[in-house]
Structure 1
Amino acid sequence: MIEVLTTGAANSIQDLGRNGRFDIGVSRSGAMDRLSLMIGNALLGNELNAAGLEIAIFPFRLRFDQPARFAVTGAEGAVTLAGRPLPPRWAASAAEGETLVIAPPDKGARVYITFAGGIDVEPVLGSRATDLKSGYGGLEGRGLKRGDRLSVTSRPPMRAFGAALDPFAALDFANPLPVRAVPAAEHSVFSADARKLFTRWSWGVTQDADRMGYRLEGPELKLERRLELMSHGILPGTVQVPPSGKPIIQLADANTCGGYPKIATIIEADLWIVGQAGPESRFLFTEVTPDEANAALRRQRHEIDALARTVEVVRSLAG
């Protein structure tokens, strides 16, 4: 077991979400930074979809009531176990009674804590992810509270090691973050100036940003002509433009349908960057083709698979 000592309501249990449920109005939910969750699970030899903790409110503290293996990935900052500092993207073992402390990050917005075997909560609609908007999944459909006790698997100690895969290395959060997107269904209905602005403007994330979506600050994106749309399906990464002309990025807990025109969809391989961007971050969008988007996702998954294979070799050699 682990016990939550200090937390915030936005911290929750997440896995990779509820894929394939959009037709019945169920949001995907799951980790905002799916890449970091998968890295953490790969470091422990878990299934990549194993449930862990998504931490967005800091400081966060938990105590291990039994020996356990765990990994900390995602946003980078000060992390200590029983007062000992841990490097970024690091897997280690905790002894009974030790406390893990995660300070506000210096780079990124969300930290992920994974545990060998995953967090054991009852799946809902095939996932252990918490849907905070609808109030189900995870732990009673809510964020973590002080005193919550969560079941994890007790494992013998292992040699501590980290991931060579460092997705944060090329990112400078003080400058606009590069994000790739493919044109969406109504892309051609926007004016030529609007289409140019979308990929040339440095879009700011406003304070109106949560797991449902981020509203962006920048110039008004205008349509070429008046457009009336029925409500239609949307996915995490969809960039809608309401009548204000200011884009909204739909994210993990977004509704599954909406009626605003869509100018672009952020590619799956770059959604983790959006998930690590807090208010006042900025994005610079680059238009890519669907083939390029698929190739980027294949490369990313290949890197995760290579990490998982390396961890398996290390574990076998360690006995």
Structure 2
Amino acid sequence: MITILETSALNTVQDLGRPGYRNLGVGTSGVMDPLALRVGNILLGNRDDDAGIELQTYPFALRLDAATSFVVTGIDAVIELDGRAILPWMVTTAAAGQVLRVGPPAKGARGYICVAGGIDVPVVLGSRSTQLRGGFGGLDGRPLEAGDTLEITGAPLDVSGYGALPPTKVLDAVAGQEDGRLIHLRAMTATDYGLFTPEAQERLWNTHWRITPQSNRVGYRLAGEPLELRHPVELRSYGVIAGIVQVPPAGEPIVQLADANTVGGYPRIATVIEADLWRLAQARIGTRIQLHECSFEQGVAAMRPVDTYLDGLRTMVAHYRASARRRTGVKSGDKA
């Protein structure tokens, strides 16, 4: 079991989401940075979609009431286990009663605490994710609070002390090295791109858009010179997914994210590709982003390095754990 000792607003239990219910008005939800959750779960030998804790506000502290193995991914921050510094992206095994503390990140925005076996909360519509707008999933459909307890399903791993290079160190940015102040994202032109003036189309790709404080898990609102339509239009509502860039009447774009509305009617000018959504999830309020046009084929191809990174990580973990077992004499079915 895990006991939450200290938490700020909007920290929740999340997995990879609940697809397949948008036609019923139920959004996908799930983690903002699915790559960080997948990495944590791979390191622990979990299923890719096992639930973890998504941190959006800090500091955060929990007590591990039973011995367990865990990893914190997504961010670079001061992380301590009973006052001893530990590294992010590194598997650690804690004894029963030890306290894990995560401070504000120096890099990144959203951290993920993954534990061996995953967080065990009820499955609702095929997912353990918290749907805050609907008030269901996760722990009673709400953010975590001090005093909450969470069940965990796994036993401590027989080996620990290994980890992963963060995606930012492995996956190349579209425009070269990023410094955290300007995030480069690839995007495809969307259905209504032709409804915008040539000047607006050019501005979309050349502006350093700023993420405003009016941003959350539903979507990031971007500030910059407005994008104008060729003439006023009224559109029928259409299905919405994460990554779609809508333009309200004021002309400043909104990028839909994990808690995206299921339908919308604002003109669609672009769609951020799936391979880059994790970069956007780790961008803080005030960060500037630049969109770079790519084709559908390029967007699909952009997932190959991500898949290669994850496959390589799975192979590394399997080899490391097998080697450690041989050194220690632990059989594959045993627990140390």
Over residues 144-180 of structure 1, what are the superposed CA-to-partner deviations in whole Å (9 max), with x where a residue is unaligned? 010111111232552211103432574321x210011
> Matches of 2:105 and 2:169 in 1, distance apart?
13
SS in 1 for 2:105: coil
**Where in structure 2 are the equivalents of 1:142-161 lying within 5 Å?**
142-152=142-152, 153-161=154-162
- Given the alignment, which residue of 250, 275, 291 partners 2:281? 275
Q: 1:298 aligns with which of 276, 295, 304?
A: 304
Report SS of the residue matched to 2:10.
coil
1:187 is matched with which residue: 181, 189, 193? 193
- Structure 1 residue 220 and structure 2 residue 221: aligned? no
Corresponding residue of 1:71 = 71
Partner of residue 171, structure 1: 178
Alpha-carbon distance in 2 for matches of 1:227, 1:25: 25
Name the SS of the counterpart of 2:184 in structure 1.
Answer: strand
Alpha-carbon distance in 2 for matches of 1:142, 1:98: 25
Residue identity opposite 2:101 in structure 1: V
Query: What is the distance in 2 between the residues matched to 1:136 and 1:204?
Result: 32
Does structure 2 retain, via aligned residues, the 8 Å contact 1:81–1:100? yes
> CA contact under 8 A between 1:93 and 1:157: conserved in structure 2?
no
Match of 1:233 in 2: 239
The aligned counterpart of 1:88 is 88
Normalised to the residue count of structure 2, the TM-score between the two structures is 0.92
Aligned residues of 2:69 and 2:160 also touching (Cα < 8 A): no
TM-score between both structures, scaled by the size of structure 1: 0.97
- 1: CA distance, partners of 2:162 / 2:43: 8
8 Å Cα contact 1:67/1:156 also seen in 2? no
Q: Which amino acid aligns with 1:185?
A: T
- The gaps in structure 1 that reach 5 residues or longer are none
- State the secondary structure of the residue aligned to 2:302: helix
Structure 1 counterpart of 2:60? 60
Output the CA distance in 2 between the equivalents of 1:166 and 1:180. 16
**Superimposed CA distance per residue, residues 119-156 of structure 1 (whole angstroms, 9 cap, x where no aligned partner):** 11111111111111111111111110101111112325
Distance 1:205 1:166 in 2: 22
Deviation at 1:75, TM superposition (A): 1.5
Q: CA separation in 2, counterparts of 1:156 and 1:226? A: 60
Q: Secondary structure at the match of 1:101?
A: strand
Length, aligned pairs only:
318
Q: 222, 240, 252: which is aligned to 2:258? A: 252
Distance across 1 between alignment mates of 2:80 and 2:48? 25
Distance in 1, matches of 2:186 and 2:291, equals: 6
Are the counterparts in 1 of residues 187 and 292 from structure 2 also a CA contact under 8 Å?
A: yes
Contact 2:116/2:157 (<8 A) preserved: no
Inter-partner Cα distance in structure 2 for 1:38 and 1:156: 18
Return the alpha-carbon distance in structure 2 between the equivalents of residues 26 and 292 of structure 1.
30
2:323 maps to 1:317: yes
CA distance in 2, matches of 1:221, 1:23: 30
Give the Cα separation in 1 of the matches to 2:80 and 2:193: 47
Per-residue CA distance 1:87-140 (angstroms, 9 max, x = gap): 231111011111111000011111001011111111111111111111111111
In 1, Cα distance between the equivalents of 2:32 and 2:169? 15
| Alignment partner, residue 307 of structure 1 | 313
Deviations 1:235-267 (A, max 9, x none): 011100000000011111121100000000111
Q: Give the whole-Å Cα distance in 2 for the aligned partners of 1:183 and 1:27.
A: 23
2: distance between equivalents of 1:156 and 1:189?
Answer: 55
RMSD of aligned residue pairs (Cα, Å): 1.2
> Retained in 2: the 8 A contact 1:165–1:303?
no
- What amino acid is the match of 2:300? N
In 2, distance between residues paired with 1:171 and 1:28?
29
1:178–1:299 CA distance, 2 compared to 1 (3 A): same
Deviating beyond 6 angstroms after TM superposition, the runs of 4 or more aligned structure 1 residues are none
SS in 2 for 1:105: strand
Tell me what 2:332 maps to: none
State which drifts further: 309-318 or 254-263: 309-318
User: Residue 168 and residue 135 in structure 1: after superposition, are their counterparts in 2 closer, same or farther (change >3 A)?
Assistant: farther
